[in-house]
Structure 1
């Protein structure tokens, strides 16, 4: 009878896969020996594998190049990175090796853009697409960027007042886009996105505030679907409505020449994950071209905003199972040396599932378990793998430490988890390392941040750490 953990994974999934292989009974991620990382840096440990960022960008560019050639599409493609997925400098440094553009969401993003310009990571030809609801500081920062000469900045109008606010601070003529307030999926509690301007209101808005405005040039229509780019009737229906708005607007606005299809590609969240990226891009490109030809208008340049797709698959987290608690006849709790609430907040907040695998002991027998975090919160747990409705791991053995990994965690987890700040029950933030490859393909690792110390936390809380230590 096949009772090893390896047998379970091999029979349940296609294994090995491109990024997941075995070295004896230890897991490798992109040929990185994860147990060696554990031995060198300990746990809990977060890591970012930088080459995966460039790899995904190159793949997307190739897919769009293929689709445009196949469909004889007479327009250009621009890949934008959504900073909100991860604002870290090491992410930006890797992403902008690939001649891409940037999408911002809030005021401080513009400060990052200015730093990138100063360092030469981006230049005057880099598009800066400014999305989001714009408060005063965001407006001021956008205006400063444009007044300092960055002409490829395009604020995306989210509501009727933003255009007037921008004009008050921007010198001379400038470009804008308009965001469509798409209808949400039927399962949502509301019908229409809170962001953007409704389909039926865009043309009247253009006629009233933009058409005869000599200081403003409408360049882009922005279409964002919250659930991402997926092969569903909902997505194709919303895209169709968007394209109708585009061609009607284009007939009255000659300067309109770009369509931003935001929303993003899904990333791998299971070893069963299947998604035909090339098919989706082919079909989107074909739909845009077909609609424009029928309306007798030129096809737009296509912009995409990929955040999770850019960075999500580059990162992971490794924990040690510290102890097993048998709470009743059926439930065994494996307690990890960190917290899901603080280090992988999406698992708790939106019930998101990541790829979860044992790091070692693949040749040992397996058992069904629940995973618990260290906080005293009853919600600090992870109790099902995406396709198994349960978690199976090598059997707990006090004398043989077990390590587990969560993969493709690179988007949003650090910012939502409050990187560098306070965490629930004051569980310390884990050590974080960066992994790269040199020109010969050899691995190079460096510590980005050490595990949070008591002094760091007490300082945030306002305690005088020196006095506390003296009293002890």
Structure 2
């Protein structure tokens, strides 16, 4: 198992942020999400540094859908980041945490009237407009509120990135954005002549998630910069912002070969400068929206091992006290993870087992065919790189409670989310 961030081994035992995993379990029980605050902050600072936020006035917006309790809103505010939200719930969380509304980008392919009204009233910085319906709705709401709203148009640039089918978003056949090939983007720009309350200042595209190859991102840069020039020449609209979305791949298993934050950011900026120079235009303000690449490797999940079922000459099932309710990605995407026993970190790898969840589903498998040290019921198992889309996609399937969340740094534990009780689970039932 690869160690990330502040992870270290002392006398065969795993520590994160200077805190023993066994101590975390003793105090907070399992399943338990653990976040390495030092690594989160380092990733934020690396993005700001290498994307030239201070130097070029570019911006980095954390993609909140990856993980967004109030703790995370406050942390990225402290790190001078912007925030990308995709729902009224995420926007409300940011608002209640005191996050500056002017630094928010509001996404979503089907924002409701209530969500649009909320965003306008709160003073959201940029609406990323996805379709004609939203454009008209936003104009009407701004008219009633007597406000002018800056917007980006989201486009589908026609780029097919090599990733899972469910997380491709840049190709033509997508529920997101105005397509280029059928003229939707140009029709949307023409419609702006009829609107006085929305102001187009930028373009946005997002080509997918968990992408390792930088070439699709560089193609995206070329397409977006050519559009900036074309829109200026054809419509006399000066676009100041270009938002390239997120999607940078991260390490889950040794099959993954991600770029560093520095490599990714440098490639994007270099390409933007070169392309704009060739086109004879100024480089617009660049925005990227990393989520997974900030938070994934900073999060881990601790479980207690229960049943061990040895089917002779077939498989050994090792069951934990969590599963698809706290990490749906293996069932949804066949996502891979690494694991270990937290107090046997230096033991020789001896057994091949399958880590199973406790849900009443045959597909509730966290890790297939993994080699691990000698394992016993009652041991504490850790799965790494669960920071993104673990807690944020957690459910109460089988009426299982959502786990607690903690952050660790410099030997201290910060509670982030309390564990649900059974009363919490049924609290909305009448």
- Same fold at TM > 0.5: yes
Q: Which secondary structure state, in structure 2, belongs to the residue aligned with residue 240 of structure 1?
A: helix
Establish whether residue 287 from structure 1 lines up as the match of residue 266 from structure 2.
no
Alignment of structure 1 residues 133-152 onto 2, 5 Å: 133=109, 134-145=111-122, 150=123
Please tell me whether the aligned partners of residues 91 and 311 of structure 1 are also in contact (alpha carbons under 8 angstroms): no
Partners of 1:48 and 1:434 within 8 A in 2: yes
* Structure 2: distance between partners of 1:335 and 1:449: 24
CA deviation string 1:172-229 (max 9, x = no partner): 4332111111325277497432111012426623552225755432111102111355
- Which range moved further: 294-303 or 326-335? 326-335
Corresponding residue of 2:313? 329
Q: Determine helix, strand or coil for the equivalent of 1:270.
A: coil
Residues 229, 220 of structure 1: alpha-carbon distance in 2 compared, 3 angstrom cutoff? farther
Q: Larger C-alpha radius of gyration, 1 or 2? A: 1
Q: Secondary structure at the match of 1:161?
A: helix
1: distance between equivalents of 2:301 and 2:161? 34
Among 92, 95, 114, the residue aligned to 1:114:
95
CA contact (8 A) 1:179 1:197 kept: yes
In 1, distance between residues paired with 2:193 and 2:136? 14
Alignment of 1:15-414 (within 5 A): 18-65=5-52, 75-116=56-97, 119=98, 121-122=99-100, 126-133=102-109, 134-145=111-122, 150=123, 153-170=125-142, 171-183=146-158, 185=160, 188=165, 191-200=172-181, 201=183, 204-205=186-187, 207-210=189-192, 213-227=195-209, 230-251=212-233, 252-270=235-253, 273-338=257-322, 340-365=323-348, 366-384=350-368, 390-397=369-376, 401-414=378-391
> Would the aligned equivalents of 1:218 and 1:253 in 2 still touch at CA under 8 Å?
no
Equivalent position SS for 2:78? helix
Q: d(CA) in 2 for partners of 1:95 and 1:229?
A: 23
3-state SS, counterpart of residue 358 of structure 2: coil
Give the TM-score, by structure 2 length: 0.86
Q: How many Å separate the matches in 1 of 2:242 and 2:50? A: 17
Gaps of 5+ in 1: 1-8, 10-14, 70-74, 385-389, 463-472
Contact 2:210 2:250 in 1 (8 A): no
Secondary structure class of the residue paired with 1:22: strand
Q: Offset at 1:233?
A: 4.0
Kindly indicate whether the alpha-carbon contact (under 8 Å) linking 1:313 and 1:409 is maintained by their aligned counterparts in 2.
Answer: yes
1:101-154 residue CA offsets vs partner (Å, 9 max, x unmatched):
2222123333334324xx4x426xx32212112222122222323xxxx3x622
Matched residue, 1:444? 413
- Residue 465 of structure 1 is matched in structure 2 by none
Question: Is the CA contact (8 Å cut-off) linking 1:50 and 1:434 kept in structure 2?
Answer: no
Aligned length: 416
> TM-score with structure 1 length normalisation?
0.79
C-alpha separation in 1, matches of 2:426 and 2:131 = 42
What is the root-mean-square deviation of aligned Cα atoms in Å? 2.8
Change beyond 3 A, Cα 1:453–1:159: closer
The secondary structure found in structure 2 opposite 1:306 is: coil
Deviations 1:352-411 (A, max 9, x none): 223322212234442111112222311111343xxxxx311122346xx42210122122
